[in-house]
Amino acid sequence: MKNRVDPLCGPVDGRIERGVAVFRGIPFAEPPVGPLRFAPPVAAAPWAAPLDAGRFGPISIQDADPLFQAVPPTERNFFHEGAVTGEDCLTLNVWSPDVHGAAPVLVWIHGGAFQFGSGTGEWTVGASLARAHGIVVVTLNYRLGVLGGLYLGDLDPGRSNLALQDQICALRWVAANIAAFGGDPGRVTVGGQSAGAMSTVALLAAPAARGLFRRAVVQSGHAAIFPSPEAARAGTARVLAGLHIDPDGDVLAELRAASALRIAAVQRGLGPVPVTPLVRDGVTLDADPVAAIRGGSAAGVDLMIGTTVAESRLFEVTGWSTAPGSLDAVLGGLLVDAGARAEAKALYEGLPGSPEDQAYRALTDHDWTQPARAVADAQTQAGGRVFRYLFAWPSSARDGRVGAAHLVDLPFLLGNLDAPGAGALLGPLDQAALELGAAMSTALARFVTDGDPGGGAPGPWDPYTPAARATMLFDTAPGQAPDPDGHYVDFWQAHRAVSTEPLAALVAGA
């Protein structure tokens, strides 16, 4: 059954599906083609004839993510069945419990290393949250890979961080139009996982995003791999060389003339994360995002932020890294100081589990947990209210080698444990796992609604402070824990100067 709404953008015909109003493929920006290729997004012009929002639009041009090449059913995390790619991809999707209401709004930004994924993946659809918790959910596409991340700021300061600018454009669309879909524009939460979480941290610091949201959810994200302009220029040089474009010629004209197939081929050859739309350019993104957050760039924004205890396990599954040979080998790659390596070895050898478990924990604390806690500390120092969590539920998939890896917590948080393909990453789910999923999605909905995720099934959840470090531990028996990983994170904070950059090998394409 069609369901028409009349937002400022123009009339939109959605569908009612099991009691939820669903609107797919709504353009929030003009197609980024022709003169708009490698240019900042331009808000979509209003339309007069009703827009049929019954199907998803094209998703950004991309290669196949290595996760679903290794575990094929996980393909449905990245895009819907029957998805097609194209450059005319700047669309969003809305799930609403009542188009005549004024419900809180969650805008979710997908992950995928800024190279893969879309706002159409079935692990992130908003139907469950809308139906069970009465919130409006928005997902969106943004330009991926070279099309969204190529740094051209030396040609024009505005031609930097294009995917981040796409996300800001979508948030502006939400501010102007979401009331017609039953959402309250004064209660918007922006969130994301992995690259979407990195994007959310960037939005906390980006001047153009201020005032567009009231709360933020950072699921496995931080600001520690935001490149400098100098590093971004090196990535641009590699792309131009791969496309046989003279850097001293008419670069923009040649980029616009390059076929999408050539661009995709060059991108494929560059390896993981060759370019990123999170350059510290001082224009679209502050030159020091954490300092900007600490200084109040996101003043008044409530923050929910957390990581898993074994983020790094996923990258063995995808083939982006190999299993750690030993704790010594991992620490040798992370720390340049022998004394620090000895201190870390004594610290992590005291943890329960196998030497491989200890090695993965060290990798995760270095690459993910400590940088994420730095964001939490910065927001609390600015006076913001922060809620921190740690996800420890162990997946049994692949003979237990997945564990509490990166991405495992996504279907738990968004209430999509029954999504197609999720079981291939999670393994069989018992009653305790189902209850954990209900508790996490309820906590998210409570946070989106009033900024406080506590009080549900896991019990009290106190705000995080750098002194008390209250943390919600999401495990088989969830509950608040007093600083469960403090000693390990403190170590990496104290030794950051003598350690490698987070995810350094991955970013370098190793």
**Which residues carry out catalysis?**
194, 311, 406
**CA–CA distance from 356 to each of 349, 378, 504 (Å)?**
10, 32, 20
* DSSP for residue 402: S
Buried b (16+ CB within 10 A) or exposed e, 189-219: bbbbbbbbbbbbbbbbbbebbeebbbbbbbb
Cross-strand partners of 499:
335
Are 174 and 203 in contact by the 8 Å Cβ rule? The answer is no
Specify whether the CB–CB gap between 388 and 373 falls below 8 A.
yes
Tokens, residue 246: 């003279």
**Rounded to whole angstroms, how far apart are CA atoms 454 and 475?**
16
Helices (H), 121-228: 127-133, 145-149, 162-177, 195-205
- Helix ranges (H only) for 321-430 are 327-334, 338-349, 355-364, 370-381, 410-413, 422-426
Q: CA-CA distance, 339 to 497, in Å (whole number)?
A: 13
**What letter does residue 249 receive in the DSSP assignment?**
S
Amino acid of residue 309:
V
Q: Which residues contact 250 (CB under 8 A, 6 or more apart)?
A: none
3-state SS assignment for residue 417: coil
For residue 187, give the amino acid letter. R
Q: Which amino acid is at 466?
A: P
* Residue 502, CA distances (Å) to 137, 371, 493 in order: 32, 8, 12
Going 379 to 381 to 456 to 417, the CA torsion angle's sign is positive
